[in-house]
A and B are shown apart, each in its own frame.
Chain A
Amino acid sequence: MWMASARFSLILWGLVRLLRHAARRHPAFAARLKERNLIAQIVARDEGVGRWYLLRDGRVESGPGRHPDADVTIAFKNAALGAQLLTPPINWLDQINAQKDFKLNVEGPEDLTNWFAQTIMQSQTAGWKFGTRLADGIVRYCNMTNGGPVFVYVKEGRIIRMTPIEFGKDDPAPWTIEARGMSFTPPRKTTLAPHGQNAKSIVYSPDRLLHPMKRVDFDPGGARNPQNRGKSAYVRISWQEALDLVAGEIKRMKRDFGPGAIACSHGSHHTWGNIGYYLSALYRFTNAVGMTRVHHNPDSWEGWYWGAVHHWGHTLRVGQSETYGTVEDCLQNCDMIVFWAADPETTSGSYGAQEGTVRRQWLKNAKLGIKVVHVDPYYNASAQFLPGKWLAPRPTTSVAMAMAIAYVWIKEDLYDRDYVGTHTVGFDVWKAYLLGESDGLAKTPEWQQRETGVPAKDVRALAREWGRKRVYLAPGGWGNGHGGACRNQTGIQWARVMVCLSAMQGLGKPGVNMGNLQWGCPLDFNFYFPGYADGGMSGDIENTAMPVELYQRMPQLPTLASSFQRIPRIWMPEAIIDGKAEGWPWVGKSIEHQFAKFSYPAPGHAPVRMLYKYGGSMLSTMNNTNRHVRMYQSSNLEFVVNQSIWFEGEAKFADVILPACTNFERADISEWAGLGGYGHHGQQQLNHRVIVFQAPAIAPLGESKSDYWIFTEICKRLGLANYFNEGMNELDWVKRLFDASDLPGAVTWKKFIRKGYHVVPAEKKHLRAPVAFRWFWEGRRKDVPEAHPLPSDYNGEYLRGLQTQSGKLEFECNSLKRFPDPERPPIVKYEPSWEGPASGALYEKFPLQLLTPHSKYSFHTQGDGKDSFLLNIPDHRVRIGNYYYWIIRMNTRDAADRNVKKHDLVKVYNDRGAVICAALPTQRLARGVCHGYESSAIYDPMGEPGMSVDRGGCLNLLTPERTQTKSTHSLAGANALVEIVLWNGRSEHVSEAFKVAAAEQELRRALRSAKLVPAK
């Protein structure tokens, strides 16, 4: 006991020396010490020993014992515990256990206690040196964008350039695949997506929010004028005022209305990083405060999650297949790849930059002998790059084409009967449907021609070639789902039929699999580094993938939201305006989770009256988004705060705007394409595993701050700061995550933060992950490195069989027999889209099918607008007059019929809204189809929002919000029926969502003109 007290006292004495030393050596730390004047003490309650520290104007005085006027007290239960927890390296599990067991307490005003704790932490890190010093005073840092890792060159506090990373001599050699007498090795460098290379221009964008702001006609104590959201101007306010206002509203909501009254809505993506990411810092914040979750639909996987899972499981991967080893198998054994609504050259694998491009370029080597076929309504970028037959079904109809292929296989005995007999169930039921035995309609190539417009002869030719070759079927951008046709009205049917085609040809046999070389690289998957969906510092073991591994590796205070109220994202406007909504959950644990309907409001919960919005992407990424405009102008929303980097989209609909900084202005750590969770081993897309220390390259611009800082400051006002950040700085969490990964065994921290990146050596040839589904084909135990399905989801022996009830590929789905759903029958059937050529009067009125795929140049709204470099790319936007218009592509003859020529301004419209675009006539689309990317960052109504045309290019104003089926929370808005006319320059256009408002306005006008009401 005496020893413990002495040791504790010695450590406390040492702390004074440490603080003074750090202040002497590091000006930034000296400045930090000047931020607060306070007296803090650290004591052991049992022995009564301790030490006080008086911080005044940057100087530190100290003395033994307790201080009568201490502002801050950190109390350990006893000296032994204090000595143990204060001795580096810090054991985080002991640290948080002491807090959970109330053996470590903090007393004092939250601002001071948290500041003091962070200051002590900062004294340890003040000497860390980031980056590589080059000539001319340039420092080269690293960072990570959504489009790949970058070297960031900084001179005199300004970013001068960003480049991809070219590996050095000390970096490991890449992998080599031997195939058909040749060797294939990727180059020793990283690639970038266009939006990654664009990053400098969005950091220094004139649209950056540089100060907190308040809407001019928003008075929290008086008139709030919600009807003016999206119209009114803003006035600059101080951080103090902004934070007090937000924290005050949070307290008022909870006190006056009860749990659930505050909702948080965030986009599906964020600036890259594991600490600052939305699944990390934001989730810890929202859980700590207690907010209603806006429950996301499975974004880009819709058809796979709601449809394909019933045939083959894979709920972990949102219904997509395992992909290990497929690059090697494809190059060695495959004869033909069928790209089906698959455009990896446009979508870059989401986060995979141009890594897949490098591999697909190998397909151009005629010696490999791998043929390529493209099925897509648009002659897409992948078809442009990889020559092959292009089949162009009308949007939403290719389900019929797939069925006709299966029909030919059955009729001409071109499928693997043995495999179907041993590895699948329910084939006879589907076969009877295809042959027309159950409904009197044979699904022949001629039948599909009426639906798709693709000649029957071409479908027969494809079916015959496919049936005789070893084929990789590549649906969607990732080659196993993701994007493509799964987001349209028949997306569920499409994903289902894709699995059925694979099952007929013997999925898992050499050369027979899903993929297009986008996933499946032979990397080392045993080296652990968490992905962003693993939850970072969120402490959230319910809504992130943290329980998989990170929670044990990086112990942290858990954060559990007390409220279980959820809003289904697709129905957010209805939830707010009408006060009710129903949704179906996206949960990766099992097939059956998707059947558990939930309702808003939740029992006993308050309806949402305050919205904490993170960024501004919804107007251009959700569907029929004039509904969202109406939602924002609803008086049901008493308060809207938006935390955003740029002044765009919904940020212009907030009452208070909190300016956040980019990932180039704060510290973080991450792996390229390290998704974790639903995108387990997303690094398979890459040619090299690259982990990066995201150094703060420059100071936050203006008064912008990191999300972490903003959350900390709000939490201080709620007494939650020490809970939120555990007394740590953002940088400390970065180090904590480094320590939690396998990195410390491979590189020292000091070297890592200077060099900025680490390349994980490629896997040794004999240790490479096995090929996906090979175990299934061979009837072995599952041996690919993914811990899924859950042990209880096997029907017999662990690791034997798929996640389905039968353990086999199910043509007739047992899960859909257990959950009868007329729109999702147990076998997949073709039901034409409710917004397409079969829509009768609607189709007559709006005869063009609009495709709205993900953009090639921007990453959703990221990179677009913001006066960025991307505006200069003529296939992205084109400058007409003084404005950069979004591009709408249309068939040359459709354009001529409408007297539309290249770069004419046209109005693309339907009942939901109208968007002004620049026309681009092309042969890349069949007649009756037009194409414009979704996710313009600019929403720019030319008059009243909702009552005028948008010239920003927000095509999702026009797409249907209706879900694919009633019993799914599935986006169906990847296409819509529209008409296009030359724009006559008029700006008014009343959207469906605003019809009522418009009628009222008209009535008022009529009454006024009839002098029935006094004019003002």
Chain B
Amino acid sequence: MKKWNIIIDVAECTNCNLCTLATMDEYVDNAWPGYAAPMPKHGHRWINILQNERGQTPMIDVAYLPTMCNHCDDAPCIKAAPEGTIRKRDDGIVIIDPIKAKGQKQLLDACPYGHIWWNEELELPQAWPFDAHLLDQGWLHTRGHQACPTGAMRAVKVEDAEMARLASAEGLEVIRPHLHTKPRVYYRNLWRFTQCFIGGSVAAEAAGALDCVEGARVRLFRDGAAIAETTSDNFGDFKFDRLSENSGRYRVEIEAAGRRARTLDVELGSSTYLGEIRI
């Protein structure tokens, strides 16, 4: 049995919000009986793009994380809801019944991802229903998939075994895996959102001018052991990425031909740019 999943590549999301807008276009002022009552024009973000800025000027980067109903296979909302209010379809999609769920505001608390939204006017808990009404009519993709210019958001219908293989082969992750809800929304390059870096710019004075040092050997030490090594680029820049936030003490050691080595100690909280480092 093939089932629906979403695969999101964090590194390719540009925050254009086309998925968010396409979803509003589909649900605001439109009722899809059996699938969804109209989405309010404001206040709901069925597809919600979070952002994460790392580093300090001028060594920074920014990543975006589109989030939505995870269509969990072990969905806490289904457990919390009276029988028949929320159903899991054979194709993996979770639907909050737009009639039976009326008045059940407590379902908002059941979702650990904050992706059940309260429709004040209709007194209805709502979530993104995977555009199931369109897929059932033969649409090949969700609105978000269709609107995404970079392919950062893809809706794929595959066997669960195939999805597991994809996830492992391509390093896909789910958000907050410790909740064990078995989300059907997977992320590539999630580290851009969850992990941090140590970077710096190596410079040296020569012939009266300060210049960038290219090719300096830079090593990262932890507990006395070298855990990573890189070389500085033509701007003297180096970066060690995919480190855990608040992971403690690191030592950065910089060596370049004809120069005395420099070492710097870093207590890593979030991403840290060490600035200009003269050797």
CB distance from A702 to the nearest CB of B (A): 17
The stretch among A58-66, A864-872, A965-973 that forms the contact with chain B is: A864-872
Residues from chain A with a CB closer than 8 A to the CB of B143 are 163
Are the C-beta atoms of A166 and B17 separated by less than 8 Å? no
Task: Give CA–CA (A83, B36) in the complex, Å.
Answer: 61
Quick check: is B219 within 8 A (CB to CB) of the other chain? no
B115 at the binding interface (Cβ < 8 Å): no
Min C-beta distance of B164 to chain A, whole Å: 27
Are the C-beta atoms of A873 and B235 separated by less than 8 Å?
no
Shortest A364–chain B CB gap in Å is 8
Q: In the complex, what residue of chain A is closest to B140 when comparing beta carbons?
A: A166
Q: Is B26's CB within 8 Å of the partner chain A? A: yes
> Which A residues are in CB contact (< 8 Å) with B28?
201, 869
Q: Which residue of A lies closest to B45 (CB)?
A: A872
- Knowing A197-B22, A869-B24, say if A354 contacts B235 (CB, 8 Å): no
Q: Tell me the minimal C-beta distance from A477 to chain B in angstroms.
A: 14
| Shortest Cβ distance from residue A604 to the other chain B in the assembled complex, whole angstroms | 53
Which of B55-63, B83-91, B153-161 interfaces with chain A? B55-63
Q: Are A379 and B25 in contact (CB under 8 A)?
A: no
CB contacts (< 8 Å) of B26 on chain A: these are 161
Q: Which of A465-494 contact B (CB under 8 A)?
A: 465
How far, in whole Å, are A877 and B262 apart by their CA atoms in the complex?
Answer: 46
B179 within 8 A of A: no
The reply to whether the CB of B16 lies closer than 8 angstroms to some CB of chain A is: yes
The reply to whether A867 and B18 form a contact with Cβ atoms under 8 Å apart is no
A194-B16, A358-B149, A879-B42 known; A872 vs B24 contact (CB < 8 Å): yes
Looking at chain B, what size class is its interface with the partner chain?
A: 35 or more
Cβ of B212 within 8 Å of any chain A Cβ, yes or no, is yes
B129-162 with Cβ < 8 A to chain A: 137, 143, 146-147, 149-150
Q: Nearest Cβ in chain A — how far from B71, in angstroms?
A: 22
With A and B bound together, what is the CA distance between A385 and B149 in angstroms?
A: 12
Query: Within 8 Å CB of A162, what residues of B?
Result: 25
Min CB distance A490 to B, Å, is 21
When C-beta atoms are compared, the residue in chain B nearest to A189 turns out to be: B146
Do A926 and B150 touch across chains, with their CB atoms under 8 A apart? Answer: no
> Which segment, of B117-125, B203-211, B244-252, B253-261, faces chain A?
B203-211
Flag if A869 contacts B25 (CB, 8 Å). yes
**Closest Cβ neighbor of B271 among chain A residues:** A923
Question: Which chain B positions have C-beta within 8 A of A194?
Answer: 16-18, 21
Inter-subunit contact A200/B211 (CB<8 Å)? no
Q: A379-B62, A458-B235, A461-B211 are in contact. Are A357 and B14 (CB under 8 A)?
A: yes
Q: Tell whether A875 is near chain B: CB-to-CB under 8 Å.
A: yes
The answer on a CB contact under 8 Å between B61 and A387 is yes
> How far apart sit A875 and B210, CA to CA, in the bound complex (Å)?
39
List A residues 400-429 near B (Cβ within 8 Å): none
Quick one: which of B218-277 are within 8 Å of A by CB? 234-237, 276
Q: How far apart sit A879 and B42, CA to CA, in the bound complex (Å)?
A: 10
Q: Is A838 an interface residue (CB 8 A)?
A: no
If the complex has contacts A192-B18, A357-B150, A390-B58, are A457 and B53 also in contact, measured as CB distance less than 8 A?
Answer: no
Does B100 count as interface, using CB distance less than 8 angstroms?
Answer: no
Is B106 an interface residue when CB atoms closer than 8 A count as contact? no
> Which residues from chain B contact A875 at a C-beta distance below 8 Å?
15, 17, 51
Asked if A391 and B18 make an inter-chain contact with CB atoms under 8 angstroms apart, the answer reads no
- Complex alpha-carbon distance, A596 and B61, angstroms: 48
B1-51 contacts to A, CB under 8 A, are 11-12, 14-18, 20-22, 24-26, 28-30, 41-42, 45, 51
Please tell me if the beta carbons of B14 and A925 are within 8 angstroms of each other in the complex.
Answer: no
Partner of B236, one of A457, A856, A927: A457
Cα distance A913–B30 in the bound complex, in angstroms: 42
A–B pairs, 15, beta carbons within 8 Å: A135-B137, A161-B30, A163-B146, A166-B146, A201-B24, A201-B25, A201-B41, A345-B14, A379-B57, A457-B209, A460-B209, A857-B17, A869-B24, A872-B20, A873-B21
Spell out A's residues near B (CB within 8 Å). Answer: 135, 160-164, 166, 189, 191-192, 194, 197-198, 200-201, 204, 345, 353-354, 357-358, 361, 364, 379, 381, 384-385, 387, 389-392, 446, 455-458, 460-462, 464-465, 856-857, 867, 869-873, 875, 879, 891, 922-927
